[in-house]
Amino acid sequence: MPGRPLHRPVAAHRLHGVSLRSPAPPQPPLPPAQADPAQADPAQADPALAGEPAAAALPPPRATVASLAEAWRRLPANTRGAAWILVAAAGFSTMAALVKILGQDLPSLQIAFFRCWVGLALVTPLIVRAGPRVLMSRSWKLHVGRALVGIVAIGCGFYAFTHLPLATATAITFTKPLFMIVLAVLLLGEVVRWRRWTATVAGFIGVLVMVRPGAGTLDPAILVSLTQALCIAIAVVLVKKVPPTESNLTILAYFGILSTTLMGIPAAIVWQPMTAAQWGLGIAVGLFGVSSQWAIINGYRTGEATAVAPFDYTRLLFAGLFGMVLFGEMPDAWTVAGAAIIIAATVYIARREARIGTPAKAVPAD
């Protein structure tokens, strides 16, 4: 009938048994403040990220450390040993630079006390845990002798770092193997053939090239630095004479206690008031000295001596760099030539000793 609607508005219709319901009215969108940020599209949140791939999730810190440790263990032994030696070389050079900075205002003996005191502080927990038995030794005379020459070596070395260019003082420390050859014959009764004697003489010629005694340029600090190298060599000989039944902790305990006590006496005589910054640098001297000593021992234990020993000469590079940047020191041609002769002689001695089956014992120079 005209004017009459064809269909009546109903909420649902039945069509062939299927229920057709009217769609629900659309819900208004949530306001921006109620939107879930966790479900937001980064591209919509920041147009600059549109089209960029999602960043990979960072691994947890423990997994990263574990993977790095595994990669380190997979490296060849000589590579790991060389890395330890490089760390030690950088640490010893840093210690020398700190000594030179402090030496501008403080006596060398006062600075050297920090080297002994910090070393004792670090080894004290091990001594306490081991108990009094760690100090039971029948070789106490050797320990006392080693402590005496040890504090002389530290004091002379710190004086040399303060009064000589860092590169020069560092180069002279490499004469230790030359003194070791002489002491091995005199005190240990070792047999040294003509090749090693020739290398030893050549090394001392390198020292003469550096100091040029006939040119009127001989600095007394050069003799002090050579005394340091000689005392280190004597300390090595004394350690070799200690019976193998005594532990390394016994050796470290005696040296820490005796060196701190003996060095404390002259340090107290020349002691000067220190600022907070100087106290911090003094403690840093001890920390760098002990940690570098630990690193160089690890290096020689991990790799072959003939493979890792040459990396110790990078101390000359670090010392020269610190000297130029911090103190404006420029090594001259004589210093470079003398250092090259010393290095060549000591490298030959190390390789010769390894070839005949008597590798040099690793002992840090500072």
Q: Which helix (H) or strand (E) holds 19?
A: strand 18-21
Of 34 and 341, which is predicted with more confidence? 341
* Neighbour-count burial of 70, counting CB atoms closer than 10 A to its CB (0-12 exposed, 13-18 middle, 19+ buried): exposed
- Give pLDDT tens digits for 140-169: 899 999 999 999 999 999 999 999 999 999
In the predicted model, is pLDDT for residue 365 greater than 50?
A: no
- Give pLDDT tens digits for 98-111: 999 999 999 999 99
The count of residues in the chain is: 366
Q: Which residues contact 348 (CB under 8 A, 6 or more apart)?
A: 195, 199
Cα→Cα distances 177→149, 203, 222, 298, Å: 16, 9, 17, 20
pLDDT the model gives residue 35:
47
pLDDT the model gives residue 304:
83
